[in-house]
Structure 1
């Protein structure tokens, strides 16, 4: 039996709770797959990171718990904290859906689709049949 998700088709916003998480492995040369919205540190210590804006920062003696930092890379050198998880929120649409919507509805449709999420926008504007497979 599947779990009912009341908020599945609601548009995410910066105030939304995180909805996806991934293990973060410290690496001096590779960026993460996503810029994080927050990091969870399972075993405290120092955290040396490259922030979303490119600045390199060391957070000294971080405690176990959630830390609302937008990080693009977790550096191995200078990081002693372990059991780190990155968290993001999902916007409710994929790039192919957004691009398909933009192709059908033009730039204005694309901007609205990015703002609300393709599925939510289509439902609000009665375009479900026009978007076909994208929904």
Structure 2
């Protein structure tokens, strides 16, 4: 298969130069229209061959990207991690704190509220179903 045939299969004029995004959207649209699972069993063989041709055309146009002019890509963004802290008596940086106060308040608050909720549920159950067995709580 040649480039012109592949462009025609995807719905482009033979002398056009579609971008990667145009090729991708045309391929997705055509695949949706010609997928073999959308056809009755007696037409699946023809649909399957059309589907394979579309896939081959997309691969050909996608791989021949060197002939087209591509947009410049952005340079990757790198960040530098810097550890800051107050110098300690040995001349090095201070150690990192284990946890800050708001974090600890959230943790201890959740534990306290969870415990009180469980305690209230236990009391309600005890009131609803009293047990006179001295060995059970």
> Would you tell me which structure has more helix in proportion to its own residues?
2
Q: State the structure with bigger RCO (CA 8 A, min sep 6), 1 or 2.
A: 1
Q: Give the number of the structure whose residues are more often strand, by fraction.
A: 1
TM > 0.5 fold call: no
Say which one has the larger Rg: 2
Q: What is the TM-score when the length of structure 2 is the normalising length?
A: 0.18
TM superposition score normalised by structure 1: 0.19
